[in-house]
Amino acid sequence: MTSFRDLHLADEPLVLPNAWDAASARVIERAGALAIATTSAGVAWSLGVPDGGLLDPVAAAEQVERIVAAVDVPVTADIENGYGDVVATVRGMLAAGAVGVNLEDDASRRPERFAAARSVADSDALFVNARIDTYLLSVGDPADRLDETVARAAEYLDAGVDGVFVPGVGDPVVIAELVARIPAPLNIMVGPGSPNVAELGKLGVRRISASGGIALAAYALAARAATEMLTFGTYDNTAADLTHGDLNTYLAH
C-alpha cells in the first residue's frame, strides 16, 4: 500500500470524498478512494452533536477507530481545533489508527497548536494538515487575504506541519498563487461550482476534499424521503443504486 504521505506526491491529486462513519467509509473505499478522510461535521451529526468544535474527543476517536477497522486504506482524521488539549486529541487519533490529522487555525494565527500536534509523533508517523480559515471566514481585508494566508502557512510549516488546507477558495488565479507561494501540498475544499479535479490538478493542487458535503447530501436525501412519505404517502426518494445486499457485503470484507 502506498503511504498516506506519498499519496500527496503522486502525479494526480489525492481525492478525498470525506466519510463520517464505518459504512460511508467503506462505500467511499469501494468507489476507489486511495485514502479516507473524516469530516468533523459529518461525524458530529452522526453522533447527535452540532458541528463546531463540540465533539467529545474520545467519542470522535472511537468513531475513527470504527472507520479504520472498516477499510483497508489509510485514514486521516479531522480534529477541528483540537478540542482543547491538542496533544491528547492527537494521541487518541493515533491510538485509533489514524495516520494523519486535519487541524484548524480558526480566525487567528495558531502556530503553537500545530507545534503541539507535531510534538506527538515524528514526521513519518503523522501527516499534519494545517487548515487556514482566512478565506472561509473572510478574515481581514480581502486585498491582504492572500498574503496573510501565505504568511500563516509559513509559520505553520515552521511549526512542523506537512500540508496546508485552504477552504473557501474557488478562484483558479488565487489557487495558482497559493500553490506557487506555499512550499507544501495544497489542499482545497470542493463542492458544486468548484473547478473539477482535472482543473485543480493542472493548477498544482495536491489534495481535494469534499469536507461535510457528502454527509450533508445524504442527510438531505433522508429529509426528502421522509417528507415525501409523510406528506404524499409515496416512496420515490427511497430508490437507490446501492442495495441492502451490497452494503452488507461491503461491511463483511
The conformation of residue 203, written as its DSSP 8-state character, comes to H
The distance from CA 97 to its chain's CA centroid, rounded to whole angstroms, is: 16
Domain 4-214 has CATH 3.40.50.150: no
What is residue 106's predicted lDDT score, i.e. its pLDDT?
Answer: 82
The conformation of residue 237, written as its DSSP 8-state character, comes to G
Number of other CB atoms surrounding residue 140 within 10 Å: 13
Please report which confidence band the pLDDT of residue 110 belongs to, taking 50, 70 and 90 as the band edges.
confident
pLDDT(206) > 90: yes
What is residue 1's predicted lDDT score, i.e. its pLDDT?
Answer: 61
pLDDT(196) > 80: yes
Q: State how far the Cα of 83 lies from the Cα of 55, in Å rounded to an integer.
A: 7
Q: State how far the Cα of 52 lies from the Cα of 241, in Å rounded to an integer.
A: 33
DSSP for 43-64, written as a single string = HHHHTT--SSS-S-HHHHHHHH
- Is the CB of residue 118 less than 8 Å from the CB of residue 128? yes
Q: State how far the Cα of 170 lies from the Cα of 162, in Å rounded to an integer.
A: 22
- Is the CB of residue 97 less than 8 Å from the CB of residue 62? no
Q: State how far the Cα of 136 lies from the Cα of 146, in Å rounded to an integer.
A: 12
Q: State how far the Cα of 203 lies from the Cα of 176, in Å rounded to an integer.
A: 5
C-alpha cell at 95: 491510538
Q: State how far the Cα of 145 lies from the Cα of 169, in Å rounded to an integer.
A: 11
The conformation of residue 195, written as its DSSP 8-state character, comes to P
The distance from CA 88 to its chain's CA centroid, rounded to whole angstroms, is: 20
Please report which confidence band the pLDDT of residue 125 belongs to, taking 50, 70 and 90 as the band edges.
confident
What is residue 115's predicted lDDT score, i.e. its pLDDT?
Answer: 95
Q: State how far the Cα of 113 lies from the Cα of 117, in Å rounded to an integer.
A: 7
What is residue 123's predicted lDDT score, i.e. its pLDDT?
Answer: 67
Residue 75 bridge partners (DSSP): 36
In 3D space, the residue among 132, 194, 142, 134 whose CA is nearest the CA of residue 165 turns out to be: 132
Please report which confidence band the pLDDT of residue 2 belongs to, taking 50, 70 and 90 as the band edges.
confident
What is residue 26's predicted lDDT score, i.e. its pLDDT?
Answer: 97
Higher pLDDT, 16 or 109: 16
What average pLDDT does the segment 17-45 reach?
97
pLDDT(221) > 70: yes
What average pLDDT does the segment 224-243 reach?
95
The distance from CA 69 to its chain's CA centroid, rounded to whole angstroms, is: 18
Q: pLDDT averaged over the chain?
A: 95
What average pLDDT does the segment 17-32 reach?
97
Residue 165 bridge partners (DSSP): 131, 187
In 3D space, the residue among 16, 40, 171, 177 whose CA is nearest the CA of residue 103 turns out to be: 40
Q: State how far the Cα of 8 lies from the Cα of 207, in Å rounded to an integer.
A: 7
The distance from CA 65 to its chain's CA centroid, rounded to whole angstroms, is: 16
